[in-house]
Structure 1
Amino acid sequence: MADTQRYVNLACQQGYLSQASLKRARGQWRDEGEKRSLWAVIKSADMLTDKQIQDVESALEVDPSGPGTVIEGYRIVERLGSGGMGDVYLGQSQSNPSEQVAIKILPKRLCADPEHLKRFVLETRALSRMNDEHVTRYISAGEVDARPYLIMELVRGVSLKEHLQQAGALTSRESMAILAQLSGALIKAEDARVVHRDIKPANILLSPARPGYNEPFCAKICDFGLVKFLQDRAQDLGVDEALTVSGIALGTPHYMSPEQATGEREIDYRSDMYSLAATVYHAMMGRTLFSGKTSAVIMYKQVTASIDVEPLRQRGCPDGLVDLLRDMLRKERHERPDSWRDIYTRAISLVDELAGQDPELESAGRQQPVSRRRASSAVFNAGPSPVQGMPRGIFRSRRRTVWAMQLLSFSVILLAVTIFWLLSPPGDGSRVIRVAPETFASSLQRATQELAAYADDPAYADLGSTRTLLLQPGRYQLPSGLSLRSSGLVLQAAAAGVEIEAGDQSLIDLKGSAHVLRMKGPMLIRGRGDALVRVTDGARLYLQDVVVRGAPLEVVGGS
């Protein structure tokens, strides 16, 4: 407690903490029953900037892991920041100077606390089991100077919290990208029986979009410092579940689920659903679900106050996204979606729908579907994001200037579009749908249903709409008895590492001259039984960089 008072005193002396803020922090500290330190309350209440916190803590602690220290071949260059569960440093590989990592080290003042030590170990175990591109990647862990450390990938970008402060609220497109990317990652958390318990804007990092992906950014979940393993998994790992104490609320009040706010011990992955939805709501509205003078007031509202998501609709949020957020924000967890797979499937469907709508309509209220011919060329990343550091009003003003200039050539464009419409066959647009193993069956079914309208017309075998299922690396299970009635289905590997397995009853049946299937690798297909793919009556199958093992391809009157 003496160290805590030293931090508070220095923050006041440096002018970082006003007397009014200190008084408010003391009130919140007492309301919480003094279960954590006053300094912890001040840091979590955003009364100081990260830089101010770092200055205070650095001044009062001699860091034995400062610049020049080498950990597992990485030389510490500088301190990047501090959090409730550790200090983060920039590490540079001695053998490859271009390789940089983030090294999280538990501060010396916390090493004497058994609870903090156990939580650091829990974070390390959780991160090592979360191998996903939308989670900060685990590299290694160990101890230095009797202090545990965790080596992770260095994410180039800013947190969602910083982005909101710099550029304002997100668009529907950006919000759906976060929801789709992170719900896909949290499927793995659910399978690993892991609950994050502290999903919030500060714990979501936004790195640049990946090459070849139509996305505004690549979002990553970080900071598993409050992670919880569900009871069965905790027993397997030998984790002490006493860290989750009944009656003590762990998390951040603005994004806590009702069950977290009441201190329930038996929470599960559905608590993270609420937190992610509260985060997306904040990102779109520019304000949190609830506000209050103290954490106790906010947590009380999380439990008792009704949630109104209609303001999202008024800002132009698509109906499907409003409905999904409403379901994730149900007060009773049994009323929320059954699994992260359900959320991911719905989110990907929303992303796909938005790809066929005009992104420029977002600033003019509710989005409306564009014409069929324009939808075929609509690009999901067409709507630009605000430039960092530029006020949104100036950004929009410049966009209006660009629009005015574009009107000069509008008549020419309109004429070209009209001619293209008249000369082209009707279609429902070419879409690329990103698919993971757990959503393969549902995405395949939806794509074939959408293309079924062209199945009996040979004229559209090559000219009609297409659906490209972009398969992420992983092992896919082919549904049994699959009969593809489509003229434009493409199964394409996003990268190496795609394997499709077919059971004894699995069969892709292509029948009729209007049926065309294209499979593009690198891809490995394993099959059992008499045949994996049957091509008959003039149907066509195109394979590119595809290796087939096991059951053969059966071609009768097709190609």
Structure 2
Amino acid sequence: MRTPPEARHETDDRLRDDAGDLTGYRIGDAYELIEPIGGGGTGTVWRARSLVQEDEHVAVKLLREDLMAEPKAVNRFVQERAILLMLRHPHIVRVRDLITVGTSLGLVMDLVEGGSLRDHLHEHGTLPPGEAAMLLAQVAEALAAAHRRGVVHRDLKPDNILLDRVDGRLHCRLTDFGIARVLDTPSMTTPGALVGTANYVAPEAVYGGSPAPPADVYALGVVLFELTTGRPTYGGGPAWAILRRHVDESPRPVEGMPEAIWQVVQHCMDKRPGRRPSARDLAATLRSVARRLRDLPALPPQVADNRLTTLERPAVPRPRSSPSRSRRPYFAVVLLALAALAVPTWNFLNRPGAGGDAARPGANSTAAPVGGHPGNASPSGRPAGRNARSDGAATVGDATPAGSAGRPPTEATEAWQDWECADSYTWDLGHPAVVQPCHAVGTERVRLIGHMKALPGVQADVTISLVDADTDELVAGPHLCSGLMFTDAAPSHDCGPFVDNPPRGHRYVVVQKWVYTGRSILPGGEARGKEFAW
């Protein structure tokens, strides 16, 4: 039966509406959508009925229509089909077809009824060590097949491992190769981009290394630890803090964990990729471990380990086996699961030298006594970063940094209002830095300052500008602070304070911009403070 043209037009309208119900929509003469059964960052997965073999059900993954205008998203979607069509393995979900649905694209895949390994873990808390080893042996075999074809999964995690039952026993099927990379073809990902999910990213990927099979093995070691303990090796905190722990720390055993499981975890999570086992060898090891531990009960679920989730805490010495300290970690867009992570908020301002009751980020105002400045600006008014300076480029009006004596020329008589800052530190996906622009209004002039905090090893040039809030026209600045270097000892810097004398009778906003130096591949950022009248 063919879908009437008017029905197809009606469905196109429903596809354009995110809330549209596609239940019953027929895709040509081949499939009929029944119900949504899952979703992710790129689209929704539907249960569908085959119109050729009516008793057969399949899964149809529809690309979000708004992503159709993004070539990289479409490329990845098509790439997933190309990769999976050439991968034939009992533990890899089979892709059957690439279809068009209205103005969107869809992948037709085998329907796996048992949910994901993540669902199974949520239901049981932890798995018996022998069962965890047997399930992941199947996954390792699937990875070995992919690696033989030059394919790296790059996002191995319990969510992408589906379960069904074969002869009454759990059977794993690896899926979602949408961000995998065929090693002998140009990558569709921005060169050097960090792709994956923070809890499972290998240290060499954090440093910008090319994706390779050992990264999948590393992630499988994290999953083995998670299945047996109920939590990943480095859980809790924002994504960048977890990524740092992958680089700086080594996993710790949990009381009661069988030694055989712990040895596999350690071997898989070795900081040196060349020391990790191949997926093929790992599969054999896991099957042997599963036989030896098949009668052991599951451990009680462990509480998430939240150590070192912020940079204020002491740094952990880097293991000798980790990459060289001279190579600075950097981050580009982290796809998929990172979007769900909470935005961290820190208190840069409440520290010695800030003066009085410095306000906290997110407050309605940032208080500082008359003549003081928030943050870690030095008494001279210069930014705290090494080699930081104000060039005063393109400055309009009386734009003068604080004087060498620590105060602008008329500060003794100037009456300053409290500092006003952006409500929270700005944190964009993929950025290893957070920023917060601020201003303070005086009787004659306006003060500007920008706070910035970043991971050790990051270096940036920062500019602070004053723009008209209505026209976005530059009014003062940009004031440049160049070469801000962030380290374990100096995780935060201020750019400013600067003093400007903009025209009266307007509304203004402080704009803080930054670019990463030495890492031109990583785009810079921009943040805006609160609007104010002058």
TM-score (norm 1): 0.48
Q: 2:296 & 2:243 partners in 1: Cα distance?
A: 38
Correspondences of 1:447-526 after superposition (within 5 Å): none
Map of 1:106 onto structure 2 = 63
How far is 1:180 from its partner?
1.0
Gaps of 5+ in 2: 1-13, 301-534
Contact 2:61 2:106 in 1 (8 A): yes
User: Residue 289 of structure 2: which of 341, 350, 372 is its match?
Assistant: 350
User: Residue 283 of structure 1: which of 227, 252, 260 is its match?
Assistant: 227
Map of 2:373 onto structure 1 = none
Map of 2:279 onto structure 1 = 340
How far is 1:276 from its partner?
1.1
Contact 1:278 1:329 in 2 (8 A): yes
1:226 is matched by which residue type in structure 2?
A: I
Q: 2:114 & 2:237 partners in 1: Cα distance?
A: 31
Structure 2 CA distance for partners of 1:363 and 1:202, relative to 1, 3 Å: closer
Map of 1:255 onto structure 2 = 200
User: More helix per residue: 1 or 2?
Assistant: 1
User: Residue 178 of structure 1: which of 135, 151, 156 is its match?
Assistant: 135
SS, match of residue 158 in structure 1: coil
1:147 is matched by which residue type in structure 2?
A: S
1:140 is matched by which residue type in structure 2?
A: D
Map of 1:471 onto structure 2 = none
Q: Percent identity?
A: 29
2:205 is matched by which residue type in structure 1?
A: Q
- 1:36-71 superposed Cα distances (whole Å, 9 cap, x missing partner): xxxxxxxxxxxxxxxxxxxxx999526595532225
Map of 1:315 onto structure 2 = 256
How far is 1:272 from its partner?
0.5
User: Residue 249 of structure 2: which of 305, 326, 345 is its match?
Assistant: 305
Correspondences of 1:411-426 after superposition (within 5 Å): none
RCO greater where, 1 or 2, for CA within 8 Å and sep 6 or more?
Answer: 2
Map of 1:538 onto structure 2 = none
How far is 1:79 from its partner?
1.8
Structure 1 runs of 4+ aligned residues shifted over 4 Å read 57-60, 62-66, 360-364
How far is 1:245 from its partner?
2.4
How far is 1:144 from its partner?
3.1
User: Residue 90 of structure 2: which of 125, 130, 133 is its match?
Assistant: 133
How far is 1:206 from its partner?
1.9
Q: 1:190 & 1:196 partners in 2: Cα distance?
A: 9
How far is 1:99 from its partner?
0.5
Contact 1:161 1:202 in 2 (8 A): yes
How far is 1:218 from its partner?
0.6
- 1:182-229 superposed Cα distances (whole Å, 9 cap, x missing partner): 111111101111111111111111212x11x7x4x1111111121111
How far is 1:97 from its partner?
2.6
Map of 1:330 onto structure 2 = 270
Contact 1:64 1:145 in 2 (8 A): no
User: Residue 191 of structure 2: which of 237, 243, 246 is its match?
Assistant: 246
Aligned alpha-carbon RMSD (Å): 2.4
- 1:373-400 superposed Cα distances (whole Å, 9 cap, x missing partner): xxxxxxxxxxxxxxxxxxxxxxxxxxxx
- 1:3-51 superposed Cα distances (whole Å, 9 cap, x missing partner): xxxxxxxxxxxxxxxxxxxxxxxxxxxxxxxxxxxxxxxxxxxxxxxxx
Q: 1:191 & 1:256 partners in 2: Cα distance?
A: 21
Contact 1:253 1:261 in 2 (8 A): no
User: Residue 76 of structure 2: which of 114, 119, 123 is its match?
Assistant: 119
1:132 is matched by which residue type in structure 2?
A: H
Contact 2:154 2:211 in 1 (8 A): no
Structure 2 CA distance for partners of 1:68 and 1:341, relative to 1, 3 Å: same
SS, match of residue 334 in structure 1: helix
Pairing 1:93–2:93 present: no
SS, match of residue 75 in structure 1: strand
SS, match of residue 351 in structure 1: helix
Contact 2:59 2:111 in 1 (8 A): yes
Gaps of 5+ in 1: 1-56, 235-239, 365-559
Structure 2 CA distance for partners of 1:182 and 1:280, relative to 1, 3 Å: same
User: Residue 109 of structure 2: which of 140, 152, 161 is its match?
Assistant: 152
1:255 is matched by which residue type in structure 2?
A: Y
Structure 2 CA distance for partners of 1:353 and 1:248, relative to 1, 3 Å: same
Q: 2:211 & 2:125 partners in 1: Cα distance?
A: 32
Structure 2 CA distance for partners of 1:336 and 1:363, relative to 1, 3 Å: closer
How far is 1:86 from its partner?
2.0
How far is 1:349 from its partner?
2.0
Structure 2 CA distance for partners of 1:244 and 1:361, relative to 1, 3 Å: closer
Q: 1:290 & 1:272 partners in 2: Cα distance?
A: 17
Map of 2:238 onto structure 1 = 294
How far is 1:72 from its partner?
5.3
The total of aligned residue pairs comes to 287
SS, match of residue 342 in structure 1: helix
Structure 2 CA distance for partners of 1:128 and 1:167, relative to 1, 3 Å: same
Map of 2:181 onto structure 1 = 228
Between 59-68 and 170-179, the greater mean CA deviation after superposition: 59-68
Contact 2:127 2:298 in 1 (8 A): no
Map of 2:155 onto structure 1 = 198
How far is 1:363 from its partner?
6.6
Contact 2:127 2:227 in 1 (8 A): yes
Q: 1:74 & 1:130 partners in 2: Cα distance?
A: 23
Q: 2:15 & 2:100 partners in 1: Cα distance?
A: 21
Contact 1:197 1:251 in 2 (8 A): yes
SS, match of residue 280 in structure 2: helix
